Amino acid sequence: MGRYTELHSFVLVAQKGSFAAAAMSEGVTPAMLGRRLDSLEKRLGVKLMHRSTRGLHLTELGEQLLERARGLLRDFDEIEADISASGAMVKGNLQVSAPASFGRLHVAPHALDFHRKFPHLKLAFNLTDSVIDLVSEGYDMSIRIGGVTDPNYVAVKLFSNHRVVCGTPEYFAKFGTPRTLEELANHNCLAFTLQGGQQRGWTFQRDGKPVALKVSGNMACNDGELLFSWMRQGLGLGWRSTWEIRKELASGELVTVLDDYALPDYDIMAVYPQQRFLPAKVRYFIDYLRSIYQSAGYWGR
pLDDT digits (tens, 9 = 90+) for 85-110: 554 567 889 999 999 999 999 999 99
Q: Mean pLDDT throughout 239-244? A: 92
Q: Mean pLDDT throughout 121-135? A: 89
Q: Quote the mean pLDDT of the chain.
A: 87
pLDDT at position 82: 64
Strands 55-58 and 49-52: antiparallel
Report the candidate in 37, 15, 95 with the shortest Cα–Cα distance to residue 279.
95
Domain spanning 3-83, CATH architecture: Orthogonal Bundle (1.10)
Report the candidate in 134, 140, 136 with the shortest Cα–Cα distance to residue 14.
136
pLDDT at position 71: 81
Q: 61-83, pLDDT tens digit by residue?
A: 988 998 888 888 877 777 766 66
Phi and psi (nearest 5°) for 196? 75, 5
Percent of the chain with pLDDT over 90: 44
pLDDT at position 122: 93
Phi and psi (nearest 5°) for 229? -65, -45
pLDDT at position 234: 95
- Long-range interactions of 119-123: CB distance < 8 A, separation 24+: 120/89, 120/90, 120/91, 121/90, 121/91, 121/92, 121/93, 121/94, 121/281, 122/92, 122/93, 122/94, 123/93, 123/94, 123/96
Report the candidate in 290, 286, 300 with the shortest Cα–Cα distance to residue 96.
286
Contact in structure between 254 and 245 (CB atoms under 8 Å): yes
- Taking domain 163-261, whether its CATH number is 3.40.190.10 is answered by yes
Domain ranges of the chain: 3-83, 89-160+267-300, 163-261
pLDDT at position 86: 55
Statement: residue 200 has pLDDT above 70: no
Q: Is the C-alpha dihedral spanning 289, 290, 291, 292 positive or negative? A: positive
Which of 12-26, 173-187, 189-203, 213-227 is predicted most confidently?
173-187
Per CATH, 89-160+267-300 and 163-261 having the same topology is answered yes
Statement: residue 149 has pLDDT above 90: no
CATH class of 89-160+267-300: alpha beta
Alpha carbon distance 203, 210 (integer Å): 7
How does DSSP assign 65-79, residue by residue?
HHHHHHHHHHHHHHH
Confidence of residue 54 (pLDDT cuts 50, 70, 90): confident
